[in-house]
Amino acid sequence: MDVTTRQGAFRGEPTSHGWAFKGIPYAAAPVGEARFAAPRQPERHQGVADATAYGPTVSTPPQRSPVMDALLPDPVRPGENGLNLNIWTPDVEGSAPVLVFFHGGGFATGAGSTTAFDGTAFARHGVVAVSINYRLAAEGFGFFPDAVPNRGLLDMIAALEWVRADIAVFGGDPSRVTICGESAGAMAACTLLAVPRARGLFRRVISQSGTAHHVHTVERGRLVVAELGAELGVEPTAAAIAQVPVDKLHAASNLVMDRMTSGQDPRFSEFTRLTFQPVIDGDILPEHPFEAVAAGAGPDVDLLIGANAQEYGLFVAPTGMWDKLTDEALLATTARIHPEPAALISAYRSRRPGASPAELFVAIQSDWFCVAPTERLIAARRDARHPVHAYQFAWQPPTYDGHVGACHTIEIPFVFDTLDDPWGIALRGPGAPQALADEVHAAWVSFVRDGDPGWPGYGTDGHVRRLDLTSETVTDPWAEARESWSGRSL
């Protein structure tokens, strides 16, 4: 099957339910002078380009944790232009709603060509699915004085502009675009609600385990690149960084990320979240995205947002921390994120008599990093009288003696209906419930198509769909997170 776009023709391949087109450049290769520039129009080509295999991945530091690399491996596909996207369509002659997926990875790792993000199931149910790559770490989010900021966000916008212009020839409706992201991808999706250049490029947002709270001020953005420059022994400019060999840059980036977020260096005591993330630069991102949403940004955009019940289980059970966390370590880690750690721990323990330090750590960190920001964003949307549906993914696998819980990332193969994919299978186990995947995937399809996942909006009653072996609509399941973090900056 050949399809002709503005830049030329591409040949895809049939799937069990339609067609797949992979590795299509949505922007020019970010090399040379373009490496730290805003994305540029893709180059035109003659003839028919092959689009039957995934394209190159972007230049990205390797995962810092060998455990995470084994559980959730990032594909490495060599090549010059990592700014490419993949499309799964039910029918190139149709006009189906479109889902554009932004991968996670802390704005530092990840790839849109991860096999668990295969969009064949969406095509089977009448949705055109798109996954993209975008620039990461220093190249995507380093705040340099001599480069345009927020290049990773600009890449996403360029991909959405490409979708608006060209998705119709793949059978997609450019007026019915939903952006969906997980973790950092979800943070980016929510942030785009506050980006003027992104207005009108999407109609709906699905946010999985991420909100609009993960941004830097200009001062913090400068501090990150200053530390990176010091680590490399160069000026903290894009011009100087561009002269550093890529492997050396990646090694230094990982060292800086560890140093700035580990809590071991008192210079960075306020860096408790991500090292590389969008910056409130005053132009591309004019203001804090949460404040923009609270003030009414995106009034015509439907939102489906949620969190998993034990987000931080991913970082505790598989890593061996479960049996090593002591009360002293729990107090020290909680002190980094709350001014009254002992009182906070006591409050969480009172609701969990007999809980181990590891169980309390997972509950506290999950609420701080993901659940409380999610609840706060939902409340802001509700108070602004904008549509919002909420979910909690609660299925807990038996793996790791049942300690991993409904952890970060575990919902992804349920969303894409790719439970047989090896990515993350050690987390969920080989017998994950297909019936739950059917339900979750159908809800996402329904929201993309109609703006309604099949349960009531959050509203004044606080309706949240708890997705589990037996799903149910519950009221205000995040009260503990809201009360525990009320009045605290997140």
What does the domain layout of the chain look like in residue ranges? 218-268, 306-485
CA angle 218, 219, 225 (to 5 degrees): 90
> For position 272, what pLDDT does the model report?
82
Q: Is 97 helix (H, G, I), strand (E, B) or coil?
A: strand
> Hey, what are 40's tokens?
């540029």
Cα(95)–Cα(97) distance, integer angstroms: 7
Residues forming beta bridges with residue 100, ordered by sequence position? 130, 179
- Tracing tokens 């100087």 back to the chain, one arrives at 240
Among candidates 367, 376, 395, which has minimal Cα distance to 458? 376
Cα(304)–Cα(204) distance, integer angstroms: 8
> How many residues does the structure list for the chain?
490
Q: Is 218 helix (H, G, I), strand (E, B) or coil?
A: helix
Cα(162)–Cα(280) distance, integer angstroms: 25
- What's the average pLDDT block by block, 10 residues per block, for the chain (490 residues)? 96 97 98 97 97 95 89 94 98 96 97 98 98 98 98 98 98 98 98 97 98 96 97 98 96 96 87 93 97 93 98 95 95 95 97 96 97 96 91 98 97 98 96 97 98 94 96 95 90
Annotated active-site residue in 103, 125, 389, 408 = 408
Beta strand 463-467 with 388-393 is: parallel
Residue type, 267: R
Residue type, 399: T
- The CATH T-level fold of domain 306-485 is Rossmann fold (3.40.50)
Residue type, 1: M
Annotated active-site residue in 183, 209, 253, 366 = 183
> For position 387, what pLDDT does the model report?
85
Q: Are 136 and 107 in contact (CB under 8 A)?
A: yes
Q: Is residue 183 flagged as an active site residue? A: yes
Q: Is residue 288 flagged as an active site residue? A: no
> For position 65, what pLDDT does the model report?
87
Q: Is residue 311 flagged as an active site residue? A: yes
DSSP-assigned letter for residue 371: I
Cα(410)–Cα(405) distance, integer angstroms: 9
The model carries a pTM of 0.97
